[in-house]
Amino acid sequence: MAVAKPVATPQAAASPFTLHFDVNARNPNDEAGTELDAVAALLTSNPALHVNIDGHSDRNGTANYNDQLSRARADAVAEALMRRGIARSRIVTLGHGARAPVDKGTDLESFARNRRVEVRIEGRKP
């Protein structure tokens, strides 16, 4: 008797997942590949879904630099998904700079938690 494999559903992917970045890094690290492969597989098998990618930075640097860096991070994740076959029309990217920290601390660990991209899979774009 064959055992059915679990299938990812849009509800299972509704919660965002987070990719972290090194200081001043614009590209996700190698560990992100597995997660991005899973996102691409889910999007490929569910054409009604799209992905929102929100880039963030820590508060070191100027506001202008952090805005550009957070947008570059979101764009790099979008490009990684496009290399996996996902159409740009299914991807929305935003850069938030340092305006939405998940950790307001002033130590290195807090800064590291804020250098991130949040990826959310949702239903059709409005």
CATH number 3.30.1180.20 given to 17-122: no
Give the pLDDT score at 9.
42
pLDDT in tens, 17-71: 899 999 999 998 888 888 999 999 999 999 999 999 999 999 999 999 999 999 9
* Type and span of the H or E element at 80: helix 63-83
Pairing of strands 17-20, 116-122: antiparallel
Please report, for the chain, the start and end positions of each structural domain, with discontinuous segments joined by +. 17-122
44 close to 86: Cβ distance less than 8 angstroms:
yes
**CA 16 to CA 3: how far, in whole Å?**
29
Whole-model pTM? Answer: 0.85
> What average pLDDT does range 1-28 have in this prediction?
64
Mean pLDDT of the chain: 87
**CA 92 to CA 9: how far, in whole Å?**
20
8 Cα distance to chain centroid: 18
Give the pLDDT score at 125.
52
DSSP state of 4: P
